[in-house]
Chain A
């Protein structure tokens, strides 16, 4: 079963990390990712730019293009992982491991319905 792990965190807080702090988090996360990759369980991974770079297309009624993220929330969607897991328990375990490398905020674990790796996949 494929799961998406959606990463939510306060982007002001993440933006206040020093270069060293940011690099430290990324390298700790890389350890977890490498383990998953070697086990053939790691799908696409993305770190998103700040919500200031976001644009939203509202489709209810005539489509309207709005600046900013879909929802103004205390914590923002900052990235995601796609991972292959036996079951929800295993997915939660992975999220826990990622969480230990990057505490604070929250991970939303969502089973993937349809997955198309797209043309850019290696």
Chain B
């Protein structure tokens, strides 16, 4: 437990609580972060020799706070620095006692709420959360977002400046404000996940940590709000989606559609946890968009083969989601289920009115093309697929549509006149 990798895990897991408590002391994000960094450096020096403390977070808070106070003193009076870590063992029990109680929850929540400050655009929210709460380095975050380190540094600095200007809220928010902010934190976590999930085959390896980080944050949030069905739903949704990670790309980095995935590669442990959470959530009978989406994902994960999928139930769930969160994208998803239950004709009718609003949406044309192809309307299908390729966000998406086009080409050529493939 004393080599660097294990100390790293201990520092990572203690981070939200420690930075949250230090922020409460210093009321300044930069000071809190610096204090935590200092404490980590001391931990790396002290833990391998003295063994890890029983309560890593309490140790880091104490050492971080003392280090920061010393810094101030030194700056003020050039006073001599004493090493406080020596008599920490006595103090530790008492602090641990205090931490177990009241502050833990508020400290972490405050940290999460600050990252989701309404003045911050979403891109800054997630960058700030990954830096402050998760403790990823600027370099790691920049890499995951495929931007330069300098650009990411700037984004985070800007976010911090805005938060500082807006003033850090230290009072515990009231019930209404809290539930609003809770929704913002959930949305932020979902965005982090999607950043990782929407990666292409070439970038999925470097962006995958975003999915894992989002799951860690979701679990953290769920520990603070243990009976919030929507937070259970969010966590379940992320777990169930991430469970398919290993099956989503083939050896060439091409996207593999759900129905073509090798289900043996799905992570059963994550599926079990996701299904357990959605099960728990549904007992509350307070449905919400995350729960419904998680329920859809759970139905997919329960099907041993694609043909075992309960599409009728998925159609109903998307129908419920359309009511809660009307959006053309939801209707588009529902149409896929409808095509399985009632056929491509009904599905096509369903998405026809969406064309205007989704005129620059890759998936709309991909799905439309697929329905048209099933109906044998090959010319129109080809047209839709061409539009889809033009709108593809990743090379994997484009490659997938090209596969359909190739099939259309083959199908439309009379056998006698078969030409060598291009």
Interface residues of A (CB under 8 A from B): 10, 12-13, 15-18, 21, 49-53, 55, 65-68, 73-74, 103-104
Chain B residue, CB-CB nearest to A53: B276
Please give, as numbers and ranges, the residues of chain B lying within 8 Å of A103 by CB-CB distance: 1
Closest 3 CB pairs of A and B: A68-B226, A16-B13, A67-B227
Q: Kindly identify, within residues 187 to 238 of chain B, every residue whose CB is under 8 Å from any CB belonging to chain A.
A: 216, 219-220, 222-223, 226-227, 232, 235
- Give bound CA distance, A50 to B226, whole Å: 12
Are B12 and A55 in contact (CB-based, < 8 A)? no
Known: A53-B273, A66-B227. A15 touches B280 (CB 8 A): no
Please give, as numbers and ranges, the residues of chain A lying within 8 Å of B56 by CB-CB distance: 13
- Give bound CA distance, A67 to B283, whole Å: 10
Known: A13-B9, A16-B12, A74-B100. A67 touches B280 (CB 8 A): yes
Nearest chain B CB to A61's CB is how many angstroms away?
19
Are A49 and B5 in contact (CB-based, < 8 A)? no
Known: A52-B277, A53-B276. A16 touches B9 (CB 8 A): yes
Q: Does B272 contact A (CB under 8 A)?
A: yes
Are A18 and B226 in contact (CB-based, < 8 A)? no
Main secondary structure of the interface of B (DSSP, over half): helix
Are A13 and B280 in contact (CB-based, < 8 A)? no
Interface residues of B (CB under 8 A from A): 1, 5-6, 9-10, 12-14, 52, 55-56, 96, 100, 216, 219-220, 222-223, 226-227, 232, 235, 272-273, 276-277, 280, 283
- Give bound CA distance, A67 to B227, whole Å: 5
B283 CB contact (under 8 Å) in A15, A49, A65, A104? A65
Are A15 and B226 in contact (CB-based, < 8 A)? no
Are B1 and A12 in contact (CB-based, < 8 A)? no
- Give bound CA distance, A79 to B52, whole Å: 22
Please give, as numbers and ranges, the residues of chain B lying within 8 Å of A10 by CB-CB distance: 13
- Give bound CA distance, A67 to B14, whole Å: 24
Q: A15-B216, A18-B5 known; 16 other A-B pairs, CB under 8 Å? A: A12-B220, A13-B10, A13-B13, A15-B13, A16-B9, A18-B9, A21-B6, A49-B273, A49-B276, A51-B223, A52-B222, A52-B232, A73-B100, A74-B55, A74-B96, A104-B52
Chain A residue, CB-CB nearest to B51: A103
Chain A residue, CB-CB nearest to B275: A53
Please give, as numbers and ranges, the residues of chain A lying within 8 Å of B223 by CB-CB distance: 51-52
Known: A67-B227, A103-B1, A104-B52. A15 touches B273 (CB 8 A): no
Chain B residue, CB-CB nearest to A72: B100
Can you list 15 A-B contacts with CB-CB less than 8 angstroms, sorted by A residue number?
A13-B9, A13-B13, A16-B12, A18-B9, A21-B5, A21-B6, A49-B272, A50-B273, A52-B219, A52-B222, A52-B226, A52-B277, A53-B273, A55-B280, A67-B232
- Give bound CA distance, A66 to B284, whole Å: 11
Nearest chain B CB to A5's CB is how many angstroms away?
19
Chain B residue, CB-CB nearest to A25: B6
Please give, as numbers and ranges, the residues of chain A lying within 8 Å of B232 by CB-CB distance: 52, 67
Nearest chain B CB to A53's CB is how many angstroms away?
5
Chain B residue, CB-CB nearest to A102: B1
A52 CB contact (under 8 Å) in B13, B100, B235? B235
Identify which of A12, A21, A104 gathers the most chain B CB atoms within 10 Å of its CB.
A12
